[in-house]
Amino acid sequence: MRCAVFASGNGSNFQTLLDRRASGDLIHADFVLMVGNNSKAGAFDRARAHGIPTLHIAPSRFPTEEAYAERLSSALKEAGVELITLAGYMKKLPPAIVALYRNRILNIHPALLPAFGGQGMYGSNVHKAVIDYGAKVSGVTVHFVDDEYDHGPVILQKAVPVLDDDNEQTLAARVLQAEHECYWQAVEAVAAGRIKIIERRVIRC
């Protein structure tokens, strides 16, 4: 499937997807576009290094959400995008894009949803909340995107321990390693058509 990656930061998950593609592990996704809202994001450099077209598009530059969604939709259609993967993208997609790519947008969240998800729960905020709560396990959730934050059907989860001496940085590093280990597997399963959705349950075929 022709895939667009949306990223706002360094793009380490994007790099892992590119590496898995190059190694032959991720064979059913072809990365044809990288979209970002932050012109200084390192993900842009990663895309350019691999000859992948990029699009810098910031919602704040458009008079309305509808105008932003229309421009984004046009760019995705022009690139022939069939699947969207969010890799540290810090903006909520407009409902029109979610509807256009229903069950074809993947996101990775640094906790075990439905715990520690929702608006404002990203990056170090998540890890601080996990530690402050006293949770003994955290992890990674890959899920489909719907109209609510961190709410769509779960594709894959991987748990990691929360250690007694963890701080936000040490837990974040352990969770990021888990992200790199499993995001590509979810992308490959979706792109290869190896899953089906029954209500909220995502089942491997």
| Three-state secondary structure readout of the chain | CEEEEECCCCCHHHHHHHHHHHHCCCCCCEEEEEEECCCCCHHHHHHHHCCCCEEECCHHHCCCHHHHHHHHHHHHHHCCCCEEEECCCCCCCCHHHHHHCCCCEEEEECCCCCCCCCCCCCCHHHHHHHHHHCCCEEEEEEEECCCCCCCCCEEEEEEEECCCCCCHHHHHHHHHHHHHHHHHHHHHHHHCCCEEEECCEEEEC
In this predicted structure, what is the pLDDT of residue 151?
Answer: 94
Give per-residue burial for 37-76: e unless 16+ CB within 10 Å, then b.
Answer: bbeebbbbebbeeeebebbebebeeeeeeeebbeebbebb
Residues 130, 111: contact at Cβ < 8 Å? yes
109 as an active site residue: the answer is yes
In this predicted structure, what is the pLDDT of residue 20?
Answer: 97
The CATH architecture assigned to 107-142+155-205 reads: 3-Layer(aba) Sandwich (3.40)
In this predicted structure, what is the pLDDT of residue 125?
Answer: 96
Residues 185, 192: contact at Cβ < 8 Å? no
In this predicted structure, what is the pLDDT of residue 205?
Answer: 86
Q: Are strands 105-109 and 83-86 parallel, antiparallel or unpaired?
A: parallel
Tokens of 184: 């590509």
**Mean model confidence pLDDT for the chain:** 96
The single-letter code of the amino acid at 95 is: P
Above 90 in pLDDT, residue 145?
yes
Q: Please report, for the chain, the start and end positions of each structural domain, with discontinuous segments joined by +.
A: 1-101, 107-142+155-205
pLDDT band at 193 (very low <50, low <70, confident <90, very high): very high
In this predicted structure, what is the pLDDT of residue 122?
Answer: 92
Q: Which among 105, 108, 95 is positioned nearest to 191, based on CA atoms?
A: 105
Q: Annotated catalytic residue: which of 50, 109, 151, 180? A: 109
Which CATH code fits 1-101?
Answer: 3.40.50.170
pLDDT band at 167 (very low <50, low <70, confident <90, very high): very high
pLDDT band at 62 (very low <50, low <70, confident <90, very high): very high
**What is the tens place of the pLDDT at every residue in 17-33?**
999 999 999 999 999 99
**What is the tens place of the pLDDT at every residue in 75-132?**
999 999 999 999 999 999 999 999 999 999 999 999 999 999 999 999 999 999 999 9
Above 90 in pLDDT, residue 16?
yes
Tell me, yes or no, if the two domains 1-101 and 107-142+155-205 fold the same way. yes
In this predicted structure, what is the pLDDT of residue 120?
Answer: 92
Q: Which among 59, 86, 76 is positioned nearest to 149, based on CA atoms?
A: 86
Tokens of 11: 């793009």
pLDDT band at 155 (very low <50, low <70, confident <90, very high): very high
